[in-house]
Amino acid sequence: MRTVIDFHSHILPGIDDGSETAEMSEQMLELSKEQGIGAIAATPHFYAGQTTLDAFLKKREAAFLKIRDAAVRCGIDLFLGAETAFFPGIGNADGVRHLTIDGTSLLLLEMPFREWTRRDVEELEKLTARGLTPLLAHIERYFSCQKDRKIIAELYSLPVLGQVNAGALLSWRTRRLALKLFVHDMAHLLGSDCHNVSSRSPNLARGRSVIEERLGSSCLFQIDRLGKEVFGL
């Protein structure tokens, strides 16, 4: 497998607000292939209050089967996971391990879009105690809500990782923060968070170019090295 991995996507068809059809998903795969992507974590939204785990897993498998052959033709490995929305009690929730990205301990976790509390950190502590590694989805989006820097420090004292959206590196409004997160070891992996082929298309290569230009090829090397380690390559 090539070393470039997209750790956040909504490429599975007909399961959430991402790709609507298998045909669209195939176009997204082709665009990813053109950008040198060798693996994609397929991470549809999972909201515990809206569906059961069993129903979600069955729907995810059915969506995957619709594009499995297309992914093979593109030479892209698809790893099933979920973008799991944080909920009270997630630390002790049954079956949460089934939401991790295939072959890893990574749980792509969408944190609350509000100021985080000590109780939130405790939920993540419980997840890490179970051997899971929370991967905080689009980490750059939360900081406007955070006032208590002590809570952020407590959260990052845990074995958690941060994922930045490539799109954040492409906008002057968010680029500085996104780069700063990598510099200060608060962001570690990249995702496209792609949803379609128009407004939110696969864009990982463009984001990587910004990192290489601003932070150097060594930063990209570290991102790719960590990605390989996560998958045991």
Q: What residues does each domain of the chain span? A: 5-230
CATH for 5-230, among 3.20.20.70, 3.40.1410.10, 2.160.10.10, 3.20.20.140? 3.20.20.140
pTM exceeding 0.95: yes
* C-alpha to C-alpha distance for 221 and 126, rounded to whole angstroms: 31
Low-confidence ranges of the chain (pLDDT < 70): 1-2, 233
Q: Tokens 């923060």 identify what position?
A: 177
- Tens of pLDDT, residue by residue over 39-91, are 999 999 999 999 999 999 999 999 999 999 999 999 999 999 999 999 999 99
pLDDT score at 175: 97
- Tens of pLDDT, residue by residue over 221-230, are 999 999 989 8
pLDDT score at 233: 67
